[in-house]
Amino acid sequence: MIVTDCVILSNAGISAVKLTDTSTGGGFGTINLQNCLIYFIDTIAIDVGGNTSITVVNTQITNYPGTTAGVQLIRTTTQGRINLFGANLIQNNATSTVLPLIDFQNNTSTPNTMTINSCLLQYTSTTSDAGTGAKCCIRFSNTATMGTSAVTPSLNCIFNYMRCEGATTTNGVLTQYVVVQRTVGSAGNVYFNYGGNYCGATANHLSGTSTFIKTPWVALGS
């Protein structure tokens, strides 16, 4: 299914886009969103579950003007998969309840590789992360190992700009903003398989540099 050149608005309590595989044998359902603008109110903008996938191309996802939603912009569960190409993810809310822009909550070891390429990810919060892994651009809170080497990565991040403001962490330098985190107890390691990803002026990944090349995670609290 292809959706193109649309403005997609959610209602209160409803995701703008929700994919759930309800077939007995696994439907491997897919949807392509391209050249769209997605506004969400108080529920996850794109919620991908079951054995489904979505590819988002040249699309912006952001809060509906005037709202203060603290939820994720994108969440994947079970074997759900997301690929982003030239997308802008912007959280226009600085309250203390803001969650990550993208939250991987898969509970299977084979969700297949996902890609984030040439995207802008802008995250803002007014409170410290305090080492929880809850405030960042991308969070891994999966319960099963999702690829443990550069050969079989869960996520390829290629030529992105990720900005994380206000969400300081106690996992390292207090003034350092951690762009990608893994929550305590989540399984496996995930690698940036390609370089060319950059953070904001005061933001860092985990290694203290702004360029990521096959960098393994440093897990919080483990």
The answer to whether position 216 is within a domain reads: no
CB-based contact 46:89 (threshold 8 Å): no
- pLDDT digits over 16-71, tens only? 999 887 655 555 578 999 999 999 988 999 999 888 899 999 999 998 876 767 78
The answer to whether position 36 is within a domain reads: yes
Structure tokens at 127: 């409170």
Q: Which domain holds residue 171?
A: 2-204
Report field, pTM of the whole predicted structure over 0.75: yes
- pLDDT digits over 116-155, tens only? 999 999 888 777 766 666 778 888 878 777 765 555 557 7
Q: Which amino acid is at 6?
A: C
The answer to whether position 43 is within a domain reads: yes
State the total domains in the chain. 1
The answer to whether position 129 is within a domain reads: yes
Distance CA 128, CA 156 (A): 27
CB-based contact 17:1 (threshold 8 Å): no
The answer to whether position 213 is within a domain reads: no
Task: State whether the Cα torsion 133-200-192-160 is positive or negative.
Answer: positive
The answer to whether position 101 is within a domain reads: yes
The answer to whether position 148 is within a domain reads: yes
The answer to whether position 61 is within a domain reads: yes
Structure tokens at 72: 């994720």
Question: How, if at all, do strands 155-158 and 114-117 pair?
Answer: parallel
